Amino acid sequence: MNILVTGANGQLGSELKKIHQLFPDYLFDFTDIDELDITDARSVQTFFEQKKYHFCINTAAYTAVDKAENEQDKAYLINSEAVKHLAQQCAEHHTVLIHISTDYVFSGKSYSPYHEENNTNPISIYGKTKLEGEQIALQTNPQSIVIRTSWLYSTFGHNFVKTMLRLAENKSSISVVADQVGSPTYAEDLAQVIVQIMDFVLKHKDNSLFGIYHYSNEGVASWYDFAHAIFQLKSLSINTLPIKTIQYPTPAQRPSYSILDKNKIKNTFGIKIPHWRDSLARCLEKLGR
């Protein structure tokens, strides 16, 4: 089974690289912009003509939420237009597309966890481009699985966990937003789930499996809770101060509530999801080595 992974140098792509040797039945081609520029339709077409891929895992994305407000064209190019190129080739070559999306497709005005069929209403350019990308994927290639996730972190790349640890090196007190609520997600957990989903799709060959799913670690946290847990698990004496979003203005709006209901992915694929604190502890242990 040949698997194409795009955005392989990002957090999720790097986690897939780390675990791929555990799955010898799958032959992974890990690509990033140097190997495959997914914004170039011709390059994508040529790539798919050279080898038959059974799955394409698109982890590539423009994820600079604030910069996207001023770099709208670039965000749309990577998060929307590039997805079209991939989905078109996947459709033509009968390849299953697994596309990663985000909780930011929702407005955050809800008071109960978001289901896959709930109305989307992104409040940032990043969210709008990601929503357009997932819509294009589903419309262009019927064999597409969109996985919306939230608050992704990893031992790789830039993320909230690493930022907090870096700040803690020079600060005794850190202010963190406490009125935005979501679920931190360890990219290693999501990488393993993606492989589980591929296994399931291959065994069952059921078209009803395609569509949108939500995945994050279990449990609920604010960014303040997340930061406090990082310092607590690392035994760092940092005075963590809760502040409101209005006290930390950013160019892009964030959803104040983005809890994802995960019953569909659990029930469909038989997936067990770890609690975010347990996954955070595993990640911090690996970072400490």
Q: How far apart are CA 284 and CA 166, in angstroms?
A: 13
Asked if residue 69 lies in contact with residue 251, where contact means CB atoms within 8 angstroms, the answer is: yes
Contact between 160 and 153 (Cβ < 8 Å): yes
Which region, left, alpha or beta, applies to residue 44 given φ > 0 means left and ψ of -120 to 50 means alpha?
alpha
94 by DSSP, 3-state: which? coil
> In the structure encoding, which two tokens stand for residue 256, read together?
């104040």
Alpha-carbon distance of 163 to 188, in angstroms, equals 18
**Residue 175, strand partner residues:** 241
**CA gap 112, 120 in Å, rounded:** 14
Instruction: Pull the structure tokens for residue 156.
Output: 């790789």
> Looking at 126, 153, 213, 257, which residue is catalytic?
126
Burial label for 270, CB within 10 Å (0-12, 13-18, 19+), is exposed
Smallest Cα–Cα separation from 62: which of 14, 127, 16? Answer: 127
215 labelled catalytic: no
Contact 229, 222 (CB under 8 A): no
Name the residues annotated as catalytic: 126
